[in-house]
C-alpha cells in the first residue's frame, strides 16, 4: 500500500514532530488535537525542527539559504492543523499520539475507525499499552499496528513496528515500508509490555535504581561511572530526568506488574514524583536543572565503578535474551533496536559475541550468586555455550561470523571454505576446509555492490567455479544482505564505466548460472536492488524471517541494471515483477516465499545453519548433472528449452558420474561423484 496522505492525532510532545517527519518525507499530513492552541504549538514545533534541519544543510553548504527557505515552506505547508476529523476521510495511514491511557486510546481508535477509509492503517505510538486491546475498539483489527517512535521523533532513527494478535502481515509490511519512506529503521516486535527497547533498557536501569536506593549512592556519581564505562550513552538518572519521571515511573510500574521482581521501581523516583518533581520539564528531578551542578560526591564503595557498569551490561544481556526466548523479536531486530533506540553501541548480542559467551556465562553465574535471581543465565545463552557457539572467535554466537581461509580476505569480500563441522556448530582446527564455500559480503553496514565488489566477486568466482561444489553468499553484517549498487560511486562514473560495471556484473551472474557449482543466497536482511539481483542469480534463495527483497531503482528514476527486469519475472511471474519494478516497494520474506522468490523462510537464527545444511546436501550431487539442469532449466522459449535439455541429457548420460550414480543405486551404496 502506498501512503499518499497521513494523519496524526495528538499534537503534544510526540505528535508535532511525527507530523514533521511525515511532511519532510513528502507526504501531506493532517495533525489533530482537541485544543487549537495545542495544534498551533505542534505546528510551530514542526516548523522549528524543519528550520533547524535545513539550517544544518545550509551550514554544510548543501543548500543555499533561499533553497532552504523554500523547502521549509514546502514541508510545513504539507501539514494541516485541525481540531476535528474533517481531513481524515482521505488518509491511508494514521498515527495516534494521545496520552498513554487505555480508555483515551481506545476511544480515539474507535473514532478513527469511523472516520478513516476502510483501507487505512490505524497505528499507535504507544510506549507500553496493548495493540491488541486497542484493535478491539475497531472493526478492522487486522489493520491496527503499533508504530512506536522514540523521543525526539525527528532525530531518532528507530521505529518499533508492533504486531497485535490480529495484525495482518500486509499491515506489518506496509508499516515497515512506510517507516522506510520516513527514512527510519523499523524493527518488528510482539505485543508484550515495553516491546523491545523500553523493556530491555528498563530492566537494565532498574538494577542501577535498586543498588542506588539500597546503598544510598550518589546519583551523579553513578551516572558518571555508567557513562564512562560506555554501558550506556547517558547516565540512567539524567536520562530519566530528560524523559520525565512520571512517564518513566508509569512504565517501570507497568513492567514490574507484568514481569515481576527483575523490574525494580525506584523509591527515590516515587518520592520525587509524589512531590511534583518530574525532571527537566519541572526544573527538578534527580538533578536541579538550570542551576550549577552540585559538587560530585565520593563513591560510597571503592568497587562501585566496575561492578555498577558490569551489573547494567549483564542485565541488558539477560533481558535481551529473554525477549528473544519469548519470541517477541529476532536477535537482529533486538540488536538494531538497542543500538538505534538506546544508543548502546555495539548492541548487547554483538558485544556478548565479542567478549565470548562462555566468559559471559561464568560472569552471570557469579552475578546471580552475588546479586540475585535476576541474573539467572538465560537458557539461550546456556544452549549456545553447550553447542560450542562461543561468539565471534568461534564463528558463531548470537550471530554468524566469517572465518576466512588464509589469503582469502579481500577488501570487500572474503572466502571461507569449510567441511561439515561448521554445520550446526563452530569452526574447529581439525575441520578440514572442504568443498563448500561461503562468500562473505563484508562491507558493513550496506554491503554495496560497488565496482570493486563486482570485480572482487568476479575474481573469486573464477577461482571457485567448478572447484567448489556449493557456494553460499552470506552477509557479515546484520544490517543488510546487500543494499544494492553504490549510488554515490554511480554518480561519479562515466557512462562507459557504468556500462563496464554492468557487463562485469552480468558476466559474473551468467557464469554463476552456468556453473556446476551450486549457489545459495542466505538472505539475512535487506536484499535491495543489486543485492536482490545477486540473490536472484543464485540457484537457491534462503531467507531469514526478517529479510526483505525489493527493486527500488524506480525511486531514483532508473531501472534495475543487474538483471532485475529479467530474473524477477522468471521467478515471480510477469505481473508481480512489473508491479515490484514499477512501485519499488520491498516485500517481506513470507511474501517472497509465496511468490517463489525465496525457496524457504527460516527463523533468523537458523538461517546460517540452514544454508550450510543445504550447501552440504547439494555438494553431494553429480556436478555434470547439476550444471546441465541449471543451464537448460530456464533456456529461452519452450522449444529452445526442450532442445537444450536434449543436448544436456546426452552430455550427462555418457559421463562417468552417470555410471557411478546408476551403479551406486543398484549396489545400494552412496554414490561419489567426481565431475567427469
Ligand atoms: N514523550 C515521549 O518521550 C514518548 C516517546 C515515545 C512514545 N510516546 C507515546 O506517545 C504518546 C503521546 O505522548 P506525548 O508525550 O506526546 O503526550 P502529550 O501529553 O505531550 O501529548 C498528547 C496530546 O494528545 C492530545 N489529546 C488528548 N486526547 C485527544 C483526542 N481525543 N484527540 C486528539 N488529541 C488528543 C492532548 O491534548 C495532547 O496534546 C503516548 O502514547 C506516549 O506513550 C511518548
Please, which residues bridge with residue 441 across strands?
A: 413, 475
- Ligand 1 lined by 15 (C-beta under 6 Å): yes
Q: How confident is the model at residue 521 (pLDDT cuts 50, 70, 90)?
A: very high
Domain with CATH 3.40.50.720 in the chain: 6-190
Domain with CATH 3.90.226.10 in the chain: 413-619
Q: Whose CA is nearest to atom 18 of ligand 1?
A: 12
- The span from the CA of 415 to the CA of 474, in Å, is 10
pLDDT of 93 > 50? The answer is yes
Ligand 1 nearest atom to the CA of residue 107, by list position: 31
- The span from the CA of 304 to the CA of 225, in Å, is 8
- Ligand 1 lined by 95 (C-beta under 6 Å): no
- Ligand 1 lined by 38 (C-beta under 6 Å): yes
Please, which residues bridge with residue 187 across strands?
A: 160
Ligand 1 midpoint to CA 153 (Å)? 13
The CATH fold assigned to 6-190 is: Rossmann fold (3.40.50)
pLDDT, average across residues 524-545: 97
Ligand 1 midpoint to CA 126 (Å)? 9
605 is catalytic: no
pLDDT of 634 > 90? The answer is no
Q: Whose CA is nearest to atom 6 of ligand 1?
A: 150
- Ligand 1 lined by 512 (C-beta under 6 Å): no
Q: How confident is the model at residue 131 (pLDDT cuts 50, 70, 90)?
A: very high
Please, which residues bridge with residue 436 across strands?
A: 418, 470
- Ligand 1 lined by 194 (C-beta under 6 Å): no
The per-residue pLDDT for 292 is 46
Q: Whose CA is nearest to atom 40 of ligand 1?
A: 100
Ligand 1 midpoint to CA 72 (Å)? 25
- Ligand 1 lined by 535 (C-beta under 6 Å): no
pLDDT of 402 > 70? The answer is yes
pLDDT digits (tens, 9 = 90+) for 297-336: 444 555 565 688 899 999 999 999 999 999 999 999 999 9
pLDDT digits (tens, 9 = 90+) for 536-567: 999 999 999 999 999 999 988 888 889 999 99
Is 131 exposed, middle or buried (CB count within 10 Å of its CB: 0-12, 13-18, 19+)?
Answer: buried
Q: Could you give the dihedral angle defined by the CA atoms of residues 196, 198, 200 and 205, in that order, rounded to the nearest 10 degrees?
A: 180
Q: In whole numbers, what is the pLDDT of the chain averaged over residues?
A: 91
pLDDT of 293 > 80? The answer is no
Beta strands in 249-350 (DSSP E): none
Domain with CATH 1.10.1040.50 in the chain: 194-398
Position of cell 494521545?
A: 98
- Ligand 1 lined by 101 (C-beta under 6 Å): no
Ligand 1 midpoint to CA 16 (Å)? 10
Ligand 1 midpoint to CA 38 (Å)? 11
Q: Assess if CATH 3.40.50.620 describes domain 413-619.
A: no
Ligand 1 midpoint to CA 14 (Å)? 6
Percent of the chain with pLDDT over 90: 74
Q: Whose CA is nearest to atom 12 of ligand 1?
A: 97
Q: How confident is the model at residue 578 (pLDDT cuts 50, 70, 90)?
A: very high
Q: Which of 9, 14, 38, 81 to mutate to test the pocket of ligand 1 (most atoms within 8 A of CB)?
A: 14
The per-residue pLDDT for 421 is 57
Ligand 1 midpoint to CA 9 (Å)? 8
- Ligand 1 lined by 94 (C-beta under 6 Å): no
pLDDT digits (tens, 9 = 90+) for 222-240: 998 888 888 888 889 998 9
Architecture in CATH for domain 194-398: Orthogonal Bundle (1.10)
DSSP string, 18-85: HHHHHHHTT--EEEE-SSHHHHHHHHHHHHHHHHHHHHHHHHTTSS-HHHHHHHHHHHHHTEEEESSS
Q: Whose CA is nearest to atom 9 of ligand 1?
A: 126
- Ligand 1 lined by 7 (C-beta under 6 Å): no
Q: Within 13 Å of residue 465, how many CA atoms lie on the same side as its CB?
A: 16
Nearest to 528, CA basis, from 615, 608, 588: 588
Q: Whose CA is nearest to atom 36 of ligand 1?
A: 10
- Ligand 1 lined by 33 (C-beta under 6 Å): yes
- Ligand 1 lined by 13 (C-beta under 6 Å): yes
Ligand 1 midpoint to CA 12 (Å)? 5
Cβ distance 236 to 209 under 8 Å? yes
- Ligand 1 lined by 527 (C-beta under 6 Å): no
Other Cβ atoms closer than 10 A to 329: 29
Please, which residues bridge with residue 416 across strands?
A: 438
Q: Using alpha carbons, list the distances in angstroms from residue 528 to 63, 291, 413, 446, 611.
A: 29, 51, 18, 10, 20
pLDDT of 22 > 60? The answer is yes
Ligand 1 midpoint to CA 282 (Å)? 18
Q: Which of 148, 254, 605, 616 is catalytic?
A: 148
Q: Within 13 Å of residue 149, how many CA atoms lie on the same side as its CB?
A: 29
Quote the cell numbers at residue 425: 556448530
Percent of the chain with pLDDT over 70: 95
pLDDT of 389 > 50? The answer is yes
The per-residue pLDDT for 296 is 45
Amino acid at each position: 500500500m502506498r501512503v499518499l496522505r497521513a494523519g496524526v492525532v495528538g499534537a503534544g510532545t510526540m505528535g508535532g514532530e511525527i507530523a514533521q517527519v511525515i511532511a519532510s518525507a513528502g507526504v501531506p499530513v493532517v495533525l489533530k488535537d482537541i485544543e487549537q492552541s495545542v495544534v498551533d504549538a505542534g505546528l510551530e514545533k514542526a516548523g522549528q525542527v524543519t528550520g533547524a534541519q535545513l539550517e544544518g544543510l545550509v551550514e554544510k553548504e548543501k543548500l543555499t539559504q533561499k533553497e532552504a527557505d523554500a523547502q521549509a515552506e514546502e514541508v510545513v505547508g504539507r501539514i494541516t492543523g485541525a481540531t476535528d476529523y474533517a481531513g481524515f476521510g482521505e488518509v491511508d495511514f494514521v498515527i495516534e499520539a494521545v496520552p498513554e491511557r487505555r480508555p483515551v486510546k481506545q476511544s480515539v481508535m474507535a473514532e478513527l475507525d469511523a472516520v478513516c477509509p476502510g483501507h487505512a492503517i490505524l497505528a499507535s505510538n504507544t510506549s507500553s499499552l496493548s495493540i491488541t486491546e486497542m484493535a478491539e475498539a475497531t472493526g478492522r483489527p487486522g489493520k491496527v499496528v503499533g508504530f512506536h517512535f522514540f523521543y525526539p521523533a525527528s532525530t531518532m532513527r528507530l521505529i518499533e513496528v508492533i504486531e497485535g494478535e490480529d495484525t495482518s502481515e500486509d499491515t506489518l509490511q506496509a508499516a515497515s515500508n512506510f517507516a522506510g519512506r520516513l527514512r527510519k529503521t523499523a524493527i518488528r516486535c510482539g505485543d508484550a509490555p515495553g516491546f523491545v527497547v523500553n523493556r530491555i533498557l528498563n530492566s537494565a536501569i532498574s538494577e542501577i535504581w535498586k543498588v542506588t536506593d539500597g546503598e544510598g549512592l550518589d546519583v551523579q556519581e553513578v551516572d558518571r561511572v555508567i557513562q564512562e564505562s560506555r554501558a550506556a550513552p547517558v547516565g540512567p538518572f539524567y536520562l530519566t530526568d530528560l524523559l520525565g519521571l512520571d512517564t518513566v515511573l508509569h512504565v517501570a510500574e507497568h513492567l514490574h506488574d507484568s514481569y515481576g521482581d527483575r523490574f525494580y521501581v525506584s523509591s527515590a523516583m516515587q518520592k520525587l514524583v509524589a512531590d511534583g518533581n518530574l525532571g527537566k520539564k519541572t526544573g527538578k528531578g534527580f538533578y536541579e536543572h538550570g542551576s550549577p551542578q552540585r559538587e560530585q560526591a565520593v563513591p560510597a564503595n571503592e568497587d562501585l565503578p566496575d561492578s555498577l557498569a558490569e551489573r547494567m551490561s549483564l542485565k541488558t544481556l539477560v533481558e535481551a535474551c529473554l525477549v528473544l526466548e519469548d519470541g517477541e523479536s529476532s536477535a537482529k531486530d533486538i540488536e538494531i533496536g538497542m543500538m538505534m533506540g538506546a544508543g548502546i553501541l555495539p548492541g548487547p548480542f554483538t558485544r556478548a559475541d565479542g567478549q565470548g559467551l562462555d566468559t559471559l556465562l561464568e560472569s552471570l553465574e557469579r552475578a546471580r550468586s552475588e546479586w540475585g535471581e535476576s541474573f539467572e543465565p538465560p537458557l539461550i545463552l546456556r544452549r549456545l555455550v553447550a553447542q560450542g557457539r562461543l561468539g565471534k572467535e568461534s564463528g558463531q554466537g548470537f550471530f554468524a561470523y566469517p572465518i576466512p581461509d588464509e589469503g582469502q580476505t579481500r577488501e570487500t569480500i572474503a572466502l571461507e571454505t569449510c567441511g561439515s563441522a561448521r554445520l550446526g556448530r563452530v569452526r574447529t582446527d581439525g575441520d578440514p576446509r572442504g568443498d563448500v564455500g561461503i562468500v562473505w559480503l563484508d562491507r558493513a553496514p550496506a554491503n554495496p555492490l560497488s565496482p570493486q565488489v563486482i570485480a572482487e566477486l568476479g575474481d573469486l568466482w573464477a577461482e571457485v567455479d567448478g572447484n567448489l561444489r556449493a557456494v553460499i553468499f552470506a552477509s557479515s553484517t546484520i544490517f543488510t544482505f546487500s543494499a544494492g549498487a553504490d549510488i554515490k560511486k554511480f554518480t561519479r562514473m562515466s557512462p562507459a564505466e557504468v556500462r563496464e560495471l554492468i557487463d562485469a556484473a552480468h558476466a559474473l551472474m551468467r557464469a554463476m548460472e552456468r556453473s556446476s557449482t551450486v549457489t545459495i543466497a542466505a538472505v539475512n536482511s535487506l536484499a535491495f536492488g543489486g543485492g536482490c539481483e545477486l540473490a536472484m542469480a543464485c540457484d537457491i534463495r534462503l531467507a531469514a524471517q526478517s529479510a526483505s527483497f525489493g527493486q527500488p531503482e524506480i525511486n531514483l528514476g532508473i531501472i534495475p541494471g543487474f538483471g532485475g527486469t529479467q530474473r524477477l519475472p522468471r521467478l515471480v511471474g510477469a505481473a508481480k515483477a512489473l508491479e515490484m519494478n514499477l512501485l519499488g516497494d520491498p516485500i517481506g520474506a513470507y511474501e517472497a516465499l509465496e511468490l517463489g522468490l525465496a525457496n524457504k523462510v527460516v527463523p533468523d537464527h537458523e538461517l546460517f545453519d540452514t544454508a550450510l545444511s543445504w550447501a552440504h546436501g547439494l555438494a553431494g550431487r553429480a556436478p555434470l548433472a547439476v550444471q546441465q539442469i541449471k543451464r537448460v532449466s530456464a533456456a529461452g522459449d519452450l522449444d529452445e528449452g526442450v532442445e537444450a535439455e536434449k543436448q544436456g541429457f546426452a552430455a550427462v548420460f555418457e559421463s562417468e558420474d552417470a555410471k557411478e550414480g546408476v551403479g551406486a543405486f543398484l549396489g545400494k551404496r552412496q554414490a561419489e561423484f567426481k565431475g567427469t
